[in-house]
Amino acid sequence: MPQFQSKRRVRHSALKMFDLVADIERYPEFVPLCSGLKIKHRAQRPDGQEVLTADMTVSFKLVRETFTSRVTLDRANLKILVEYLQGPFSNLENRWSFETRGDDACDVGFFLSYEFKNRMLALLMGTMFDTAFHRFAAAFEQRADAIYGRAALRKLTV
């Protein structure tokens, strides 16, 4: 099963980066391959976590696929968990973590594993997905720079 994992130090606070990643409705504006996103349900748990059910549409050339995920936003622990519910995958798991590194820096952890149900779709989109996920972390960092301003020191890859 293909996986991608990265950890990047960025010059923005962990809370700002959490908020940026948690704002999933904005993904079509800057996330590679994301052509649409719709929140279907939103609920607050007693423990303070927010849980969303969302449809995300990814597009590449003539291929357009929509999948449904449950997104758990754990602001207190600065973690985001995305669990696959329905769509073209047999498995999809995505986790984010945000660790404070000083006043205006944090380490952003990103993990993704996925497997397509359809072998032909896997062959068609697999390599392109791998390339896109490598650009994923950079897209979020560029978005943070655009929203929060560029920090004096540039990023360090950890």
pLDDT tens for residues 119-158?
Answer: 776 766 666 666 766 677 788 889 999 998 875 444 444 4
At residue 21, the pLDDT reads 96
CATH class of 3-157: alpha beta
Pairwise CA distance, residues 135 & 137, whole Å: 6
State the Cα torsion 94-100-105-106 to the nearest 10°.
-20
DSSP per-residue letters across 8-76? EEESS-HHHHHHHHH-GGGGGGTSTTEEEEEEEEEEE-TTS-EEEEEEEEEEETTEEEEEEEEEEEETT
pTM: 0.85
Condensed to tens digits (0 to 9), the pLDDT of residues 47-69 reads: 999 999 999 998 877 778 899 99
At residue 138, the pLDDT reads 82
At residue 155, the pLDDT reads 44
Condensed to tens digits (0 to 9), the pLDDT of residues 28-42 reads: 999 988 999 999 999
Domain ranges within the chain, ordered by starting residue: 3-157
Condensed to tens digits (0 to 9), the pLDDT of residues 10-22 reads: 999 999 999 999 9
